[in-house]
């Protein structure tokens, strides 16, 4: 794969994303990568390319891969890399599960739809101990998550996962609980990537939380 950017600014956006994902400052990443903070700022701010050595150092500093920084994994499912040597799978406690999903992001709502089991990806936020997401009022998910009985909520599953192919590890958290439709004005702060007038907010109150993490020895 040639080293550079697939379109203007893509490299900088991916570098900034992975830096924020790790909670690092530019100076911290620059120190890890052995480069000047000003150069890192330039890469993040302006359309630019970088040679192979810079990309490899940045990828190591950001705990990802050079291909990922170049957008090489954009159109393929995650987890296609080789597994770790002697992988270890362990269960996660409730507190650790909540810590992992509390930053929000993208998760999957699983429920019984009119034609059978269904799962939809949604942007979510974690607010006051519950998962909140938005969907289209009157849409298929809205209808499937209504029990038809007043005061009775439909129980759903909600799954969030993360795979770090560079380190050959990852985690998955499953939440089960009732999906409650919120009143207009409630559950603000969630901006769905899909757009399209998704004004209905739904809250999932965790009743059961389980999780697994896999790492190499």
pLDDT in tens, 56-111: 999 999 988 887 888 766 566 666 666 667 788 899 999 999 999 998 999 999 99
pLDDT-derived band of residue 166, with 50, 70 and 90 as boundaries? low
Give start-end residues of each CATH 1.10.260.40 domain in the chain: 10-69
CATH 3.30.70.270 fits 87-216, yes or no: no
- What percentage of the chain carries pLDDT values higher than 70? 87
Most confident of 42-56, 87-101, 134-148: 87-101
Q: What is the mean pLDDT of residues 43-56?
A: 86
Higher pLDDT, 93 or 217: 93
| 117, pLDDT greater than 70 | yes
Q: What is the pTM of this model?
A: 0.68
Identify the pLDDT of residue 82.
66
| 6, pLDDT greater than 60 | no
What is the CATH architecture assignment of 10-69?
A: Orthogonal Bundle (1.10)
| 50, pLDDT greater than 60 | yes
Q: How far apart are CA 90 and CA 215, in angstroms?
A: 9
Q: By CB neighbour count within 10 A (0-12 exposed, 13-18 middle, 19+ buried), where does 109 fall?
A: buried
| 141, pLDDT greater than 70 | yes
| 7, pLDDT greater than 60 | no
3-class DSSP state of 161: strand
Identify the pLDDT of residue 3.
43
Give start-end residues of each CATH 2.30.110.10 domain in the chain: 87-216
| 5, pLDDT greater than 60 | no
Identify the pLDDT of residue 9.
55
Exposure b/e, 89-104, CB count within 10 A at least 16 = b: eeebeeeebbebbeeb
| 161, pLDDT greater than 90 | yes
| 186, pLDDT greater than 50 | yes
Q: By CB neighbour count within 10 A (0-12 exposed, 13-18 middle, 19+ buried), where does 135 fall?
A: buried
- What percentage of the chain carries pLDDT values higher than 90? 41
**Lookup: tokens for 34:** 């052995």
Q: Which residues touch 47 (CB under 8 Å, ≥6 apart)?
A: 5, 8, 9, 12
């Amino acid at each position: 794969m040639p080293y550079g950017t697939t379109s203007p600014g893509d490299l900088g956006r991916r570098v900034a994303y992975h830096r924020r994902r790790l909670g690092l400052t530019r100076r911290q990443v620059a120190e890890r990568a052995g480069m000047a903070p000003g150069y890192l700022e330039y890469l993040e701010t302006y359309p630019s390319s970088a040679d192979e050595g810079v990309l490899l150092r940045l990828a190591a500093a950001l705990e990802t891969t050079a291909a990922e920084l170049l957008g090489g994994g954009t159109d393929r499912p995650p987890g296609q890399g080789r597994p770790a040597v002697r992988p270890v799978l362990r269960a996660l406690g409730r507190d650790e599960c909540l810590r992992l999903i509390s930053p929000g992001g993208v998760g999957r709502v699983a429920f019984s739809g009119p034609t059978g089991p269904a799962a939809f990806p949604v942007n979510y936020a974690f607010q006051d101990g519950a998962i909140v997401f938005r969907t289209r009022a009157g849409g298929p998910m809205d209808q499937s998550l209504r029990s038809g009985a007043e005061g009775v909520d439909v129980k759903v599953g909600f799954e969030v996962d993360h795979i770090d192919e560079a380190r050959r590890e990852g985690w998955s958290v499953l939440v089960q609980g009732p999906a409650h439709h919120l009143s207009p004005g409630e559950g603000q702060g969630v901006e769905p990537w899909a757009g399209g007038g998704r004004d209905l907010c739904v809250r999932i109150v965790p009743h059961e939380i389980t999780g697994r993490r896999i790492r190499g020895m």
